[in-house]
Amino acid sequence: MEEELDLTQLKNPELIEQIQDDLYDGLAEEVEEGVHELLSREMTPYDVLTQALVGGMDVVGKDFREGVLFVPEVLMAAKAMKASMTILRPLLVETNAPQVGTVVIGTVKGDIHDIGKNLVAMMMEGAGFEVINLGINNDAESFLDAVRAHNADILSMSALLTTTMPYMDVVINAVKQAGLREKVIVMVGGAPLNAAFAEEIEADAYCRDAAVAVETAKELMKIRRDYAGQSNEQI
């Protein structure tokens, strides 16, 4: 019979490696246990997220690309990742700053990838933004409705497929047609995107990862606030 591994005996790097292995194997309970153990060692929720979980998912992504893993295995890994993100979410939100703005975020039409998008949403919440998370497979109308309903400052879109990223352009055009483009900051992200694509579709920013998304959102909100202040002074 296989001996049960005592996580408390592992040093941090070994424990992180173990969590990554368990994530790879889609063992949600074991991943959660490892996450709890790292947190009990006072590792910050952000470090647990980026080093153990995102690090593990990178390996899954590489093997998926190379044909070592297939969709069912990747789904199991994604499920394990999501379970642990549920533990980390309230902790990331706790490190909260005052509310800095409202963000509508979603994955675009035709695309069901949501792990990275949810990570961005969590980190934005942690930074003090109110976040309206629309989930996956959103058409332009769904984004527009949410921007209007929540008077959003920022519209964030995620796409993980080269076939779905062009839909961001459709959404931006719909925002323009609705007369909302001057009102809302548009940020985009996802693995196949880059800054040139963001520029081409006239988004305000491309964000490489969740940390960059938070920094960019704060920066753009500040610019907007400073600009509004200047305009008021001129009146």
Task: Give residues in contact with ligand B1M (CB under 6 A).
Answer: 54, 57, 60-61, 64-65, 71, 74-75, 78, 110-117, 119-120, 156, 158, 160-162, 187-192, 207, 209-210, 213
- Could you tell me the smallest distance in angstroms from the CB atom of residue 233 to ligand B1M? 31
For residues 11 and 65, which CB has a smaller minimum distance to ligand B1M in the complex? 65
- Could you tell me the smallest distance in angstroms from the CB atom of residue 169 to ligand B1M? 15
Distance of alpha carbon 180 from alpha carbon 172, whole angstroms: 10
Q: Which residue's CB comes closest to ligand B1M?
A: 116
Beta bridge partners of 103: 131, 154
For residues 10 and 137, which CB has a smaller minimum distance to ligand B1M in the complex? 137
- Could you tell me the smallest distance in angstroms from the CB atom of residue 4 to ligand B1M? 28
Distance of alpha carbon 196 from alpha carbon 200, whole angstroms: 6
Is the separation of the CB atoms in 171 and 189 below 8 Å?
no
For residues 7 and 24, which CB has a smaller minimum distance to ligand B1M in the complex? 24
- Could you tell me the smallest distance in angstroms from the CB atom of residue 166 to ligand B1M? 11
What are the DSSP calls for 100-167, one per residue?
-EEEEEEEBTT----HHHHHHHHHHHHTTEEEEE--SSB-HHHHHHHHHHHT-SEEEEE--STTTTTH
- Could you tell me the smallest distance in angstroms from the CB atom of residue 179 to ligand B1M? 22
Distance of alpha carbon 41 from alpha carbon 170, whole angstroms: 47
- Could you tell me the smallest distance in angstroms from the CB atom of residue 178 to ligand B1M? 20
Please state, as a whole number, how many other Cβ atoms lie within 10 Å of the Cβ of residue 184. Answer: 20
Please state, as a whole number, how many other Cβ atoms lie within 10 Å of the Cβ of residue 109. Answer: 19
For residues 10 and 166, which CB has a smaller minimum distance to ligand B1M in the complex? 166
Distance of alpha carbon 202 from alpha carbon 155, whole angstroms: 13
For residues 79 and 225, which CB has a smaller minimum distance to ligand B1M in the complex? 79
Question: How far from 178 is each of 34, 140, 172, 198, 203, CA to CA, in Å?
Answer: 48, 11, 10, 20, 16
For residues 75 and 228, which CB has a smaller minimum distance to ligand B1M in the complex? 75
